[in-house]
Amino acid sequence: MVVTTPPLAGRDLLSIADLARSDIEAVLELAARTKAGDDLGRPLAGRNLALIFQRPSNRTRVSFEVAVTRLGGHPIAIHAQEIQIGERESVADVSRILDRYADGIVARLISHRDLLRMAQFSASPVINAMTDREHPCQVLADCLTVREATGRLAGARVCYVGDGNNVCTSWLYAAGLCGVDFRMVCPSGYEPQGDVLERAAAMAAASGGRLHVGHEAAPALEDAEIIYTDVWTSMGQEAEQQRRREDFARLQVNESLVTMAPPQARVMHCLPAHRGEEITDAVIDGPQSIVFDQAENRLWVQQALLALIFATLPRPATAATAALEARR
């Protein structure tokens, strides 16, 4: 199958908010077709992609490595201790060097500010594989999963139970862009940042989506089609773990909470799960869980994303020659 006129060709993916609704739809359509058996060909043939991981990674690293390999490319995993961004080398220098070796960068960084600076100094595409601010690849996979479970994305009723973390931020933007009915439930003091809510609300006003942030689970779950949760304590927040356990205890996604939603509601979690904290074994392993389908969809979405970004870019030798000429 030949991918024609990709809307994301040559672009970075730093934030869901950088995308148009049509961009998201293009990724999801291609991912769905690929999952159904369509062949994307080898748009990454002859290309090397640098995969930087400042944070531990399981699904993200493996799914990206498999996706790059399936598309004919060569993934190069680089871990925090190897480059020591901000200590051994500046993020700008790392970006400049990798830009001369590789044809793109997939980066899981601690700081979103560092990601923006990396993209500033790279002529090749940079993809956000998670920062403290956003997790766009996760939420694109989530959107595919919601579409599979409910038959649509626009108008789907998603109840997110957790704090205003990076996943929630990306979900708010995706919901605003795509017309999702998105309800967030959290304890008081754990809401998303004000600027995120304002931006997402403006998107929702244009798309017909609905966004609501509240503190009680029952009204948000009453007609929910998707119950979504995430860890209560994200990486970097370990010192807050005990307080967060106490504050979130009443919002554990357990069998009692799940019965507040219709019986056909499905349960999602972006993983890794702290079983017995934000979600119980009975729920994550139960009949309403689509958690592992959701995890699988990381692969299909990331294959589609890479194909759309790289399908029409110049071949590596041509691109390298052009870059050298531009510097002369």
Report H helices in 190-240. 194-207, 217-221
pLDDT of amino acid 315: 58
Residue 97 CA: distances (Å) to CA of 113, 118, 209, 324: 19, 11, 42, 14
d(CA 56, CA 311): 29
Class of domain 136-295: alpha beta
Which residues, in sequence order, are bridge partners of residue 76? 50
Report the SS3 class of residue 11: coil
d(CA 210, CA 160): 13
- Supply the residues annotated as catalytic: 108, 135, 138, 230, 270, 298
pLDDT of amino acid 25: 97
Question: Would you say 7 and 309 are in contact if contact means Cβ atoms under 8 Å apart?
Answer: no
pLDDT of amino acid 56: 85
The bridge status of strand 181-185 relative to strand 210-214 is: parallel
Token pair for residue 200? 């997402």
d(CA 318, CA 322): 6
pLDDT tens string, the chain, 328 residues long: the values are 444 556 899 999 999 999 999 999 999 999 999 999 999 999 999 999 999 999 888 999 999 999 999 999 999 999 988 888 878 899 999 999 999 999 999 999 999 999 999 999 999 999 999 999 999 999 999 999 999 999 999 999 999 999 999 999 999 999 999 999 999 999 999 999 999 999 999 999 999 999 999 999 999 999 999 999 999 987 667 788 899 999 999 999 999 999 999 999 999 999 999 999 999 999 999 999 999 999 999 999 999 999 999 986 665 544 544 544 454 4
Do the domains 16-134+298-317 and 136-295 sit in the same CATH topology, yes or no? yes
pLDDT of amino acid 70: 97
**Plot region of 170 (φ>0 → left; ψ -120 to 50 → alpha; else → beta):** alpha
The domain limits of the chain are 16-134+298-317, 136-295
pLDDT of amino acid 313: 67
3-state secondary structure 240-300: HHHHHHHHHHHHCECHHHHCCCCCCCEEEECCCCCECCCECHHHHCCCCECHHHHHHHHHH
CB neighbourhood size of 46 (10 A)? 12
pLDDT of amino acid 325: 47
In terms of Cα–Cα distance, which of 303, 300, 309, 325 is closest to 125?
309
Report H helices in 102-193. 112-120, 136-150, 166-178
Q: What is the CATH number assigned to the segment(s) 16-134+298-317?
A: 3.40.50.1370
pLDDT of amino acid 169: 98
